Amino acid sequence: MIVIADSGSSKTHWSFLNDAYADIFTKGINPYYINSKEIYEVLEGAFKNKFDSITEVYFFSAGCNTQVHKKTVEDAVLQMWPNAIVHVESDILAACYATSMQNKGISCILGTGANSCYFDGVTVQQNIPPLGFILGDEGSGAYLGKQLVNAIYKGKLSDEIKARFEAEYDCDMADILNKVYKQSFPNRYLASFVPFIKSNISIPEFRLIVEKGFRQFLKNNVLQYPEAASLPIHFVGSVAYYFKDILEAQIEKKGLIMGKVLRSPMEGLKLYYNSK
């Protein structure tokens, strides 16, 4: 049995190719943040040795862009399924397979984090480094959440919006600073504020946050690829999916070609591997 795993910073989607098992979701597995032992504990908690028939694993994850980090994941997967053939790749390659399939295109991720690349139909030919939510990741959930917090506590939004935000998330500025600077996975925490942005998107200041994030993503990432002018620009991720209309408007303003927008790459990954 073949299993495909697509992991972002927030969650991992496991799907069994050509099998009746229901899809399984676990927490995100990013080797930048957790080691092999912790990854194995996630697998053991989710699968509990009930899937001994797994023979091949295709694992795509944020953070799997170096051999060291790929091995971190591979070691944990092999501890779970020692007889399986394991393939570990970056989540940007999953985005390519899911959207471009075997064609040329610019494939992007806009979820908790952000990424982009030029894909020639076979391999990733160019990848502008996203640099993470502190130094980059423009347009991502973590980026938008950071801009929202900045706008609230620097007085750019009304006291009424600030009160509603703090009530909905049961927090104040001290809580946010503690979770961002002193606790694990601050990117996930900041991205958790995206639903508040979505529910208030009719307010001009909220829409401006999203528009600015997408403009910065296109400028700093997509437009760096010479091929972007002539190829479709594809997206996977919840942020791209939920703000598709704003994203498409920004694409059109740049004179680019809008491609596919998928909430998750898994549907496209299943089509890709079933067609091979």
Amino acid identity for residue 170 in this structure: D
pLDDT, tens only, 62-78: 778 788 989 999 999 99
Q: Residue 12 maps to which CATH number?
A: 3.30.420.40
Q: Does residue 63 sit within a domain?
A: yes
Q: Does residue 176 sit within a domain?
A: no
* Residue 252 and residue 208 in contact, taking contact as beta carbons nearer than 8 Å: no
Q: Does residue 147 sit within a domain?
A: no
Residue with tokens 């899809």: 23
Q: Does residue 198 sit within a domain?
A: no
pLDDT, tens only, 102-137: 899 999 999 988 999 999 999 999 999 888 778 888
Q: Does residue 151 sit within a domain?
A: no
Q: Does residue 130 sit within a domain?
A: no
Structural domain containing residue 42? 2-94+269-274
pLDDT, tens only, 182-206: 988 898 899 999 999 999 999 999 9
Q: Does residue 209 sit within a domain?
A: no
Domain count, the chain: 1
Q: Does residue 212 sit within a domain?
A: no
